[in-house]
Amino acid sequence: MSNSKPSNNTRNIPHYSDNGQYPDSYYAASRNPKPDRPKLENDIHVEICVVGGGYSGLSTALHLMETDHEVVVLEGAQIGWGASGRNGGQIVNGLNASLEKIKSSYGQQNADFVGQLVTRGGKIIRRLIKDYDISCDLKEKNIFAALNNGQLKDLQKTHALWESHGMHDREMLDKYGMQEHIKSEAYVGGVIDHSGGHFHPLNLALGEAAAIELRGGTIYENTLVVDVEYADDHIKIITEFGTVTCKQAVMCGNAYLNKVIPKLTDRVMPVSTQIIATEPLGDLADKLLPTDVCVEDVRYILDYYRLSADKRMLFGGGTVYGGQDPSDITAKIRPNMNKIFPELRDVKIDYAWSGNFALSFSRVPQMGKLHDRVFFAHGYSGHGVTGSHLFGQILADAINGNTKEFDTFAKIPWIPFPGGRALRVPYSMMGSWWYALKDKTGL
């Protein structure tokens, strides 16, 4: 092993703020203990290198370890530092793009293919929690909520479509049915999915990382990948202070990968979304969400919320195209929470944080190959808790020679953002204003 010189590309890659410390979130404050993992400072050789310590990378690495590969994971900050350690923790069975949308854009065959896959991600999560005894406050069921009759009608159609794809765990709720789960006057109806659920997202990521190590995998943290060199018989992953020479690599940096792989930069756009956590609510929590379900509404820019294990309301929403953090997260999100639960108007907000997801133009996540030996997956468009786990399994299967599902996903064409990199933010904002207006007026 020899020490390698820093790559010339380092100057183009933004470094992590706060040295890759977790943001000041409820999740970071209540996380399980984790080891301080080393930074890569040597040149090493390994069979497979996975870049990114979020669910996509962790699921890929763990499925590969379970099939006896030699794997190294490189994470620029810490495990779960990105969206996977900051998200709403909601197990939503489905992609952001609806099956109707997939059918109209990509045909019946692709819709059928996705339809028979979308509940698998949630099963993978439950299997990993059970097999590796991951302590992450898992709870059952989620609700899709409609704020007006137009949304409820759409939800009825969607429900019929889900049923036609064999998803029988879901049932329609009217206004009174909703109030058994959510003590709010805001909703006219919804759908409960008995196979949905919620959990502590950072603790799931930390548990998956521990499982990879238990199986003999190696994880380097604070190890920023700055470049990739492609050769016929190997791949070289260049980090700031070392290199990994491997037979195959999987790129799972999602919204945070930035400009490391220019070919991926234009395929997705970083978008930030924010969450606030109230102080613990005691008995009031059980009054507001008596069955402890998690909830998201069906608007384009949606509210999503649930209770934490210590009975805080974790309330999320908002989007900033381009991925910046708003200057005052509480001022932005709190009014949305007060609208749904006026009882929370005066409670203290203990934590407020923001995180980036990767939006694809079609809202269908993407996987593919950059080279014979380099795979990637990203673009879950804000609904990636289950999708990233599913994609990790599909990527591992592909590396193991079972490429059927990988090939089908890889063939779904990706659609560039109108206006390219320069104009995609303003164009997307205009689009979202239109959808927000539709949501508001119930058109």
Ligand X SMILES: Cc1cc2nc3c(=O)[nH]c(=O)nc-3n(C[C@H](O)[C@H](O)[C@H](O)COP(=O)(O)OP(=O)(O)OC[C@H]3O[C@@H](n4cnc5c(N)ncnc54)[C@H](O)[C@@H]3O)c2cc1C
CA distance 296 to 302: 7
Q: Is 92 in the site for ligand X (CB under 6 A)?
A: yes
Site for ligand X in 344-363 (CB under 6 A): 355-357
Q: How many CB atoms lie within 10 A of CB 365?
A: 28
Contact 69, 246 (CB under 8 A): no
Candidate segments 47-55, 97-105, 285-293, 423-431, binder of ligand X by CB under 6 A? 47-55
For ligand X, which is the closer residue by CB, 167 or 423? 167
Question: Please, what is the minimum distance in Å from the beta carbon of residue 382 to ligand X?
Answer: 5
Instruction: State the DSSP H helix or E strand holding residue 432, giving kind and residue range, or none if neither.
Output: helix 420-441
Q: Which of 40, 178, 252, 293 binds ligand X (CB under 6 A)?
A: 252
**Nearest residue to the partner ligand X, using Cβ:** 384
- Rule CB under 6 A: say whether 81 interacts with ligand X: yes
Q: Is 382 in the site for ligand X (CB under 6 A)?
A: yes
Span of 81-89, 102-110, 395-403, 415-423 interacting with ligand X by CB under 6 A: 81-89
Is residue 98 at the binding interface for ligand X, with CB under 6 A as the rule?
no
Please, what is the minimum distance in Å from the beta carbon of residue 329 to ligand X? 10
Nearest to 340 by CA among 191, 190, 175, 186: 186
User: If binding is defined by CB under 6 A, does position 380 make contact with ligand X?
Assistant: yes
Nearest-approach distance from CB 358 to ligand X, in angstroms:
7
Q: Where are the alpha helices (DSSP H) in 195-268?
A: 201-214, 262-265
Of 48-56, 123-131, 150-158, 405-413: span binding ligand X (CB under 6 A): 48-56
406 binds ligand X per the rule CB under 6 A: no
Nearest Cα neighbor of 389 from 140, 127, 55, 88 is 55
What phi and psi, each to the nearest 5 degrees, are found at residue 260? -65, -40
Does 51 contact ligand X by CB under 6 A? yes
What is the greatest pairwise CA distance in the chain? 68
Q: What's the rounded Cα separation, in Å, for the pair 259 and 305?
A: 32
Pairing of strands 139-146, 189-198: antiparallel
Per CB under 6 A, does 304 bind ligand X? yes
What one-letter code names the amino acid at 12? N
Residue among 185 and 229 whose Cβ is closer to ligand X: 229
Closer to ligand X by CB, 51 or 174: give it.
Answer: 51
- Amino acid at residue number 158: T
| Contact positions with ligand X (CB under 6 A) in 111-140 | none
Phi then psi for residue 4, to 5 deg, are -105, 155
| Residue 84 binding ligand X, by CB under 6 A | yes
Whole-angstrom distance, CA of residue 387 vs CA of residue 103: 18
Nearest CA to 186 out of 302, 82, 274, 78 is that of: 302
> How near is the Cβ of 354 to ligand X at its closest, in Å?
7
Q: Residue 412 in contact with residue 106, Cβ under 8 Å?
A: yes
Question: Which of 196, 207, 316, 368 is the binder for ligand X (CB under 6 A)?
Answer: 316
Q: With binding defined as CB under 6 A, does residue 336 bind ligand X?
A: no
* 368 forms part of the interface with ligand X (CB under 6 A): no
Q: Which of 122, 317, 323, 384 binds ligand X (CB under 6 A)?
A: 384
First and final C-alpha spacing in the chain: 64
Between 282 and 377, CB nearer to ligand X: 377
Residue 201: strand, helix, or coil? helix
Number of residues that bind ligand X (CB under 6 A): 45
Instruction: Name the burial class of residue 76, with classes exposed (0-12), middle (13-18) and buried (19+) by CB atoms within 10 angstroms of its CB.
Output: buried
How far, in Å, CA of 84 to CA of 56, rounded?
A: 9
- The binder of ligand X chosen from 220, 256, 341, 361 (CB under 6 A): 256
**Of the residues 31, 62, 64, 82, which one makes contact with ligand X according to CB under 6 A:** 82
Q: What does 41-101 look like in DSSP terms, one character per residue?
A: -SEEEEEEEEE--SHHHHHHHHHHHHTT--EEEE-SSSTT-SGGGTS--EE-SS-SS-HHH
Minimal distance, residue 190 CB to ligand X, in Å: 16
Residue 254 lies near ligand X (rule: CB under 6 A): yes
187 near ligand X, judged by CB under 6 A: no
71 lines the binding site for ligand X (CB under 6 A): no
Residues within the interface to ligand X (CB under 6 A):
51-57, 74-77, 81-84, 86-90, 92, 224-225, 252-257, 260, 273, 275, 304, 316, 355-357, 378, 380, 382-386, 388
